[in-house]
Chains A and B, each alone.
Chain A
Amino acid sequence: MTAVAARPTALAGLLRSMADDEFVIGFSDSEWTGIAPILEEDIAMSSLSQDELGHAAALYGLLATLEDGDADALAYDRGPADFRHARLLDHGRGDWAMTIARRYLYETADAVRLAAVGDGAWPPLTELAGKIAREERYHVAHVELWLDRLARADGEPRDRLVAALTALGPDAGTVFGPLPDEAGLVADGLLDAPMEVLETRWRATIEPRLRGLGLPVPPPTRDRDTSRTVHDPAFTELWSMITSVRRSDPGATW
């Protein structure tokens, strides 16, 4: 059994935000399976996506210990309005440059967030965050390679990357959107600083890197307060795909 957390509701909000992020990007990037530019990259992207879904499953599993329900129900039986992923991930996978730009912005932000919960007060989450971080370090390395290659390839690859970063920019910081009872999370030591502080840490890591490659830096976050609560209609489409099989026969034993 998991240790009891002092603030189960606030903790559940944090877990849900992390799990939904991993679930949505994992599903979305898995759309490259079978159609990636080369076979090796197809396998790599499919494997990375499976890692993200694995992280989501583990996080939903922890969430299920706090709330009634199981990981599958949390993943598949909620309506689109109940998802709490960052609005950055409402942007579809797009072309390869869009996928790389989105992964770069998300993975670097996720790394900062994992570090911020890594020494937290609830052992089940800190243990899981430590395991996830070991895989995510490799994910960051993978997307950094691609960012570098697309940025240095003059012409179409670079143009597409700049266009993708420009389109995603205003939503990039939504990974650090406010959480329910965030002050409580910080007071209880579940999160080592408020999300706004984490966002500052994140910008300090990505801005020199993007400037060094001559790429656009994300502007201040648009509609920060609703970063995780108001979603683009595009997500409803994605959601209907994600849940289509489960909804085809509700309550079935698979």
Chain B
Amino acid sequence: MTTEMGDAGTGVLEPWEVFRQEKDGDPMRHGGSVLAPDAELAAHYARELYGRRQESVRLWVVRRADVIDLDDPDLLQPPLDRSFKKPGGYVMRDKLAAAREAAGQAKPKARNR
């Protein structure tokens, strides 16, 4: 097929990531990717794959090579307990149960509504 189009000129196909916004105010969500030799054709192909049925009001098209890819578990999934960094704070249930047992107290009953 490439001979019909010519091998020279347009260069190598590379992946571009496409993000789409369904309606004004919505967050940009990853839609998928296209293969294209340059930014202009990537924009056209993104429109055809992710916008031709009026399903998007905005597209972002980013060369995949320009995306900073972080997947190092030491950065993202550190082995130590980091639950204190979460909005819910420490998980107290197990500590409370141990303290009650040590003090010989029962768990309080749920309050009647």
| A44, A95, A155: residue with the most chain B Cβ atoms closer than 10 Å | A44
Q: How many residues on B have C-beta within 8 angstroms of the other chain's C-beta atoms? A: 22
B44 x A44 contact (CB < 8 A): yes
Q: A154's closest neighbor in chain B, by CB? A: B8
Q: With a CB–CB cut-off of 8 A, which chain B residues contact A35?
A: 1
A150-B9, A152-B9 known; A40 vs B36 contact (CB < 8 Å): yes
A43 x B49 contact (CB < 8 A): yes
Chain B nearest CB: distance from A34 CB in Å?
Answer: 11
Q: B10's closest neighbor in chain A, by CB? A: A149
B9 x A40 contact (CB < 8 A): no
- The yes or no answer to A38 lying at the interface (CB within 8 A) is yes
Q: A45's closest neighbor in chain B, by CB? A: B48
A37-B1, A96-B4, A157-B5 known; A43 vs B45 contact (CB < 8 Å): yes
A37-B1, A156-B3, A157-B5 known; A47 vs B48 contact (CB < 8 Å): yes
Chain B nearest CB: distance from A143 CB in Å?
Answer: 10
Size band of the A side of the interface? 20 to 34
A150-B9, A153-B10 known; A38 vs B1 contact (CB < 8 Å): yes
Chain B nearest CB: distance from A103 CB in Å?
Answer: 13
- Annotate A195-217 by CB proximity to B: 1 below 8 A, 0 otherwise: 00000000000000000000000
- The yes or no answer to B81 lying at the interface (CB within 8 A) is no
Q: With a CB–CB cut-off of 8 A, which chain A residues contact B108?
A: none
A38-B35, A40-B34, A43-B49 known; A145 vs B44 contact (CB < 8 Å): yes
- The yes or no answer to B2 lying at the interface (CB within 8 A) is yes
Query: Lowest 8 CB-CB distances: which A-B pairs, in order?
Result: A153-B9, A157-B6, A37-B5, A40-B45, A44-B48, A153-B8, A37-B1, A47-B48
Some 9 contacts from A to B, beta carbons below 8 A apart, are A37-B2, A38-B1, A41-B45, A47-B48, A96-B6, A138-B47, A153-B6, A156-B6, A158-B6
